[in-house]
Structure 1
């Protein structure tokens, strides 16, 4: 009943192969349905303690979702048969340092 009032989205976060970004300590997340992709990127960034000069990109089915997209909408469109949304992340140094 609690989840009826506060809908959540199940997300599994995995580091992309060949990524130079640190690995994340927690892979499974239960995120609010109204969270945007940009807000979720912020959560990931904080979990891996990424320095400000590094960028991070998340991908769903090898596609970069729009930052303003709502996680529940992406979940409904791209969720796996097991009920999870699989997200991979990668990064690059945006300032060339």
Structure 2
């Protein structure tokens, strides 16, 4: 799993305030932090913070991540939430409700291989 550098760079109170502000201003959006898994061979993503529409599926969000890291079509990418591969048809809003962090953000990790082996 990624070391959650976002968590290390920003204190809890600041992250909580930012997530609350985002949710107040954009109630139909989900604040998501995306970080590359340690020892992953896929490129680093250019931005870590995303404001995702609540009705987006995990599969659609994976497509967004693929585009941001400019991953070629033949290469696989896996997105994990708390070391678990969420179903691609699941709504981001459902994943957020079940897995959001205490700071109000949803943390997702991506890798070029199924690092954790859990489906």
1:24 aligns with 2:21: no
Would the alpha carbon gap of residues 17 and 2 (structure 1) be closer, same or farther in structure 2, given more than 3 Å must change? Answer: closer
Match of 1:59 among 73, 80, 99: 80
Q: Which has the higher strand share?
A: 1
Q: Give the ranges of 4+ consecutive aligned residues of structure 1 lying more than 2 Å apart after TM superposition.
A: 1-4
Q: Which has the higher helix share?
A: 2
1:75 aligns with 2:119: no
Across the aligned residues of Structure 1 and Structure 2, the Cα RMSD in angstroms comes to 1.3
Residue 60 of structure 2 is matched in structure 1 by 39
Query: Counterparts in 2 of 1:86-97, with a 5 A limit?
Result: 86-92=107-113
Q: CA deviation at 1:52?
A: 1.1
User: Normalised by the size of structure 1, how large is the TM-score?
Assistant: 0.89
Q: CA deviation at 1:3?
A: 3.0
User: Normalised by the size of structure 2, how large is the TM-score?
Assistant: 0.73
Counting matched residue pairs gives 90
1:3 aligns with 2:36: no
Looking at structure 2, the residues matched to 88 and 2 of structure 1 have their Cα atoms a distance apart, in angstroms, of 26
Structure 2 unaligned runs (5+)? Answer: 1-23, 114-119
SS at match of 1:26: coil
